[in-house]
Structure 1
Amino acid sequence: MTYESSTPFINASLAEHCLSVEFNRPDALNALRPEMLSEAARLVRQASEDAEVKVIVLRGAGRAFSAGVDLKVLQGIKPEGGIIGNVFDEPAAELAAAIRDSGVPVIARAVGACFTGALEVALHCDFVYTTDSTKFGDTHTKFGLRPTWGMSQTLSRAVGQRRARELSFTARIFTGAQAVEWGVANASFDSPEALDEALAATCAQIAGNSAEAVAAMKDLYRLAESEQGIRESLAGETASNYDISDTDERLSAF
């Protein structure tokens, strides 16, 4: 099976049973556009039906995983209640579902920057590898926005309720080393090269195991985290309604 992207903003390549899905806007720190989310979701779904693919790695071209949503796309869109709307929410939901529903493990290679929407994407992955100097953060409150891609669910499940609230309320930035300490990431390395060496070894280990057993384990871990509960919570997060009056002012000041 061949993997070709329908947008120049996503690269895809298959080697050694590992499909690399790469956000490809390095000059913009891979800021996310709706078509990037949709295409990444399509590729993950395609790979999930391909017996040759044993691991999927989600990554960013250049020096960053992703700085989060491209705020320029929001020009002309008036967020209501702190929600950026279906132009982003629908493809983001597609990608989250594709990652969670896939029997293939999905690893986020989060280097450089991993903010807000990008952090939400990474948290939907099965695990995260990063570097010590990578910057993470949930900056929704900084821009008068609120999450609709799962942050209130996935971050709190990763780091615990109290720390999640602190990170979201303050929009505080934290490092890759802290991400590991707190449970956002599995491992942190002193350089991207060291990360890639470890990532290749991990992918090879997974590829050498039974794909059916790995898929079963992924499904069982979904049950362990009460998948139905998180799906209901995600739906509730998206459907909720709040009056946030300063979104326009904060976005225009960016």
Structure 2
Amino acid sequence: MMNILKTIRPMASQFRTSTTTLPAITRSFSASPSRPYEFIEASEPKPGVAQITLSRPKALNALSTPLITELNDALLAFDKSPNTSAIILTGSQKAFAAGADIKEMSTLTFSEAYTTSFIESWSSLTTLIKKPIIAAVSGHALGGGCELALMCDILYCTSSANFGQPEIKLGTIPGAGGSQRLTRAIGKARAMDLILTGKSFSGTQAGEWGVAAKVFGSYEDLMEGALGTAETIAGYSKVAVMGAKEVVNKSQDLGIRDGVEYERRVFHGIFGSEDQKIGMKAFAEKKKAEWTHK
């Protein structure tokens, strides 16, 4: 298997090589244990599955521009790799990401933030990454951390996870999609209550409100669950998986009529793939499909 980690390089040359290892639950599948990043760790725990772990432990994985630069670099590399079908994004047991790096943004002026499109790149994973991303959230996911988790395609969490958009306490508002994605997930009334008060909500509530697809009792169970789902996805045709992600995401942008028409066009397009023929033939013959991903 090609070692994708050799192709991943930080976009900022000043970053140091990280020697921090992943938790034992995320066994490295790569031949090389090298970690060429400072603020994240990248691995391939299973065939077809990539994992990116946020790694700023002293700052509870607070999001900064250098961290996001590394995250986007790794995501793009895995997205382009023929060996990757699904990506897990996680943090530590204590914190997925406890917010944005306030020191970085506290002195920004309006003109600086506006002319540099500050934090626009934080949403790149929603527009550039075609393969599914599973957020595995344990501990704090506040502010930008909550927004980052909401950007992912599937969100799993522990029951004790701590979500929230507390920006109001700092004299500002969510800036990476929190007011939009959280409102779509839980409705205007709950979102308004949380954003205007800065109150947090638990992983258990995230499951009850539809923010999380699954809630787990422990960090170990969370990581095993995320890995299991990623392995399941990796066992299907990449063409179909990417098409399915595309049409579900489009449902957030279109009305039902336009959305159904969009879905139908993608559905028709997949009839041009080899995997559609392989999958339906295998089903008819009661055999296991051997995907070509073409």
The offset of 1:156, in angstroms, is 0.7
Q: Check whether the contact 2:97–2:142 (CA below 8 A) recurs between aligned residues.
A: yes
3-state SS, counterpart of residue 146 of structure 1 = coil
Q: Pairwise mapping of residues 72-91 of structure 1 onto structure 2 (< 5 A)? A: 72-75=103-106, 77-78=107-108, 80=110, 85=113, 90=118
The CA deviation string for residues 11-70 of structure 1, in whole angstroms up to 9 with x for no partner, is 111232111111111122111111111111121122111121111111113521010112
| Inter-partner Cα distance in structure 2 for 1:35 and 1:219 | 28
Distance (Å, rounded) in 2 between the aligned partners of 1:84 and 1:187? 40
Over 3 Å counting, the alpha-carbon distance change for 1:84 and 1:149 in structure 2 is farther
1:2 to 1, 4, 8: 4
1:180 positional shift: 0.9
> For the structure 1 residues 71 and 227, does the alpha-carbon distance in structure 2 shift closer, same or farther, using more than 3 Å as the test?
farther
What root-mean-square deviation, in Å, do the aligned CA atoms of Structure 1 and Structure 2 show? 2.2
1:52-131 matches, cutoff 5 A: 52-75=83-106, 77-78=107-108, 80=110, 85=113, 90=118, 92-131=119-158
What TM-score do the two structures reach when normalised by structure 2? 0.71
Aligned amino acid, residue 85 of structure 1: A
CA contact (8 A) 1:34 1:87 kept: no
Greater relative contact order structure (CA < 8 Å, 6+ sep): 1
Shift, 1:98, TM fit: 2.6
Residues 1:142 and 2:172 are matched in the alignment: no
Structure 1 gap segments, 5+ residues each: 229-254
TM-score using structure 1 length? 0.81
Q: Matches of 1:44 and 1:160 in 2, distance apart?
A: 30
1:79: Cα distance to partner?
5.0
Distance in 1 separating the partners of 2:196 and 2:57: 29
Query: Is the counterpart of residue 12 in structure 1 residue 12 in structure 2?
Result: no
Change (3 A) 1:69 1:200: same
Tell me if the contact between 1:110 and 1:134 (Cα under 8 Å) persists in the aligned partners. Answer: yes
1:95: Cα distance to partner? 3.9
Which consecutive unaligned segments of at least 5 residues does structure 2 have?
11-36, 256-294
- Which residue matches 2:62? 31
Residues 107 and 126 of structure 1 are in contact (CA less than 8 Å); yes or no, is this contact kept in structure 2?
yes
Higher mean C-alpha displacement, 99-108 vs 17-26: 99-108
> How far, CA to CA, are the matches of 1:22 and 1:37 in structure 2?
12
Instruction: Give the number of equivalent residue pairs.
Output: 224
C-alpha contact (below 8 Å) 1:115/1:137 kept by paired residues: yes
- Cα shift at 1:87: 9.9
Structure 1 residues 127, 86: CA separation in 2 closer, same or farther (over 3 Å shift)? farther
Tell me the SS of whatever aligns to 1:184.
coil
Tell me by how many angstroms 1:10 deviates: 1.3
> Offset of 1:102 from its aligned partner?
1.9
**Structure with greater Cα Rg:** 2
Instruction: Kindly provide the CA deviation profile for residues 97-141 of structure 1, in whole angstroms up to 9, marking residues without a partner as x.
Output: 333432210111111100011111111110111101111110011
1 CA distance for matches of 2:49 and 2:67? 20
Distance 2:116 2:230 in 1: 30
CA contact (8 A) 1:40 1:95 kept: no
